[in-house]
A and B are shown apart, each in its own frame.
Chain A
């Protein structure tokens, strides 16, 4: 049993998620990610059961751990009460802690999520915020969202929201003191430290790859990780 396996064992989700896998493959059969990506939760659990640090490091540096959608369908169906979806959350945490996430195309995407969702939580108090859901980044949202985006304050007003205003209601302005509490929680509980790691390891990787990265959302590295698919990740069967 190696150091990485020991680190995983410190995560309660890993402890709870891995009992004894009998390799039946039920998780893979039900998994939406396995249907789309070259991914098998059964194999992932099998690797973890070996407790082999070399294999675990390979996993932490791979695209494999980033394919899961965390729908948790596997949790319902496993006959041995394993939870591959929970194991994924522990693996992704450790991959970011160790800086291994930048070694895979899918892992590198974490910086874009940190700079959008992560930023919005601290800036607005919401995981998503309408002024930031740009139609050019979301063509699938269609003409209705494009129209809504153009008239967002009036549409929100029409539908009874309290957009950017004080008091309760939909998309209310969350008071500064409450946003400050979120920041303090992030500082106290490790989110700020994780954000810093995502930033620092990404900067090193961008330098290594020779792709421009600054502190904004508009730079070559963010564009690259947000849009690029350099290899076939899909399940061809």
Chain B
């Protein structure tokens, strides 16, 4: 078969992803907004027989502070060096990050050290002075979406559901959104490169869905660090997401799939904010377009219960998608606590359909 077009590009941008024994570091944003996603990753990794270790002493990499420019580069490098030291001390060599900002920062730092060994030496001295620790650089650096991509066929094989509309037999139409810092700076470090990343496309195709191409597919979600953190700047953030929604709407997506911590939060919340600001909704029948992390989607494919995945903390309801695929859920249990007691429920938005 002649390999051409995007397939050719994908062939050129293949990265090595370790097969087992991962040292896992968490994401600040995801722990706050999508705590179930990381829990789900660890759950399916265990079920697939993979060893993933978390050292409770690991901390933020300081990436959001670095990219909002309050944290100097030398500090960020030493924070990352400390994470590598924890990996080394724990006896691991394969480093996996939950966060894309972290993944981009780790990649940038390893590349900097590779080209400027004197900087690496300086950071080793800083780390030793500050903490007494030493480190070995990882043999393999991957994002958790890389690892999930590597396991996509096993997930499909073990899965209970497919990304197919049970009523029509048509594949679910999915927009994929890749976090900017996954591969924009270093295309060779991402599966499929920067222009046509394959990491999420591979999962969608394997699990039965149809990937939608649309004009603003590669536009940033609009996090922009300081552009969201400061209230006065949030016009930047919402306008970037709106540009994407307006561009994807004619293609009638049924799901937005993401691999970045911030993107699912912004693409979820800004749909609500835009509906409140101007009454516009982007999904079917006055609803929004459900937004998910790849772990949540993998969890659904594997038959995990939607409310165990944390889908109840999404502002855009996911029920229309669950109904299409035929995934059962109990609406009465959506907002119950661990012991089955009611926690009340969120107020309904003015326009965006809520369940």
Contact = CB atoms under 8 A, between A and B. Distances in A.
Contacts of A24: none
Nearest to A90: B73
B32 A129 contact: yes
Q: Which of A70, A110, A188 counts the most B-chain CB atoms under 10 A from its CB?
A: A70
Nearest to B61: A127
Interface stretch (B135-143, B166-174, B202-210, B307-315): B307-315
B349 interface: yes
A129 B59 CA distance: 12
Contacts of A234: 235
Contact of A128 (B32, B74, B307, B314): B32
Q: Which of A142, A150, A160 counts the most B-chain CB atoms under 10 A from its CB?
A: A142
Interface in A68-111: 68-73, 75-76, 83, 89, 92-93, 96, 106, 109-110
Nearest to B53: A168
A77 B116 CA distance: 24
Interface string A164-179: 0011111110110011
Contacts of B74: 189-190
A121 B60 contact: yes
Given A36-B235, A117-B64, A161 B35 contact: yes
B21 interface: no
B353 interface: no
B163 interface: no
B273 A142 contact: yes
A114 B71 CA distance: 9
A168 B32 CA distance: 15
B70 interface: yes
Nearest to A74: B184
B68 interface: yes
A146 B32 CA distance: 13
Given A76-B184, A93-B69, A189 B78 contact: yes
Interface stretch (B6-14, B144-152, B215-223, B321-329): B215-223
A220 interface: no
Contacts of B187: 76
A5 interface: no
A184 B78 CA distance: 11
Given A154-B338, A185-B75, A226-B230, A126 B31 contact: yes
Nearest to A166: B56
A141 B224 CA distance: 17
A183 B198 CA distance: 39
A157 B338 contact: yes
B234 interface: yes
B35 A117 contact: no
Contacts of B129: 188
Contacts of A226: 230-232
Nearest to B43: A160
Contacts of B195: 76
A189 B129 CA distance: 10
A113 B346 contact: no
B177 interface: no
Interface stretch (B153-161, B236-244, B251-259): B236-244
Q: Which of B79, B218, B231 counts the most A-chain CB atoms under 10 A from its CB?
A: B231
A167 B67 CA distance: 29
Interface string B110-148: 001000100100000011011100000000000000000
Given A113-B230, A137-B231, A167-B56, A185 B70 contact: no
Contacts of B227: 33, 69
B348 A70 contact: no
B343 interface: yes
B127 A185 contact: yes
Q: Which of A36, A72, A144, A186 counts the most B-chain CB atoms under 10 A from its CB?
A: A144
B82 interface: yes
A159 B69 contact: no
B345 interface: yes
A55 interface: no
B220 A174 contact: no
A109 B232 contact: yes
Contact of B79 (A133, A143, A161, A185): A185
B72 interface: yes
A156 B33 CA distance: 10
Interface of A: 11-13, 16, 32-33, 35-37, 66, 68-73, 75-76, 83, 89, 92-93, 96, 106, 109-110, 112-114, 116-118, 121, 125-130, 133, 137, 139-148, 150-151, 154-161, 166-172, 174-175, 178-179, 181-182, 184-191, 194-195, 198, 225-229, 234
5 contacts: A35-B240, A75-B185, A113-B230, A121-B60, A145-B315
Given A140-B269, A145-B269, A189-B74, 19 more contacts: A33-B227, A35-B240, A36-B236, A68-B224, A69-B240, A75-B184, A109-B233, A125-B60, A127-B64, A127-B65, A150-B344, A168-B56, A170-B31, A170-B35, A172-B56, A181-B82, A188-B130, A190-B75, A191-B72
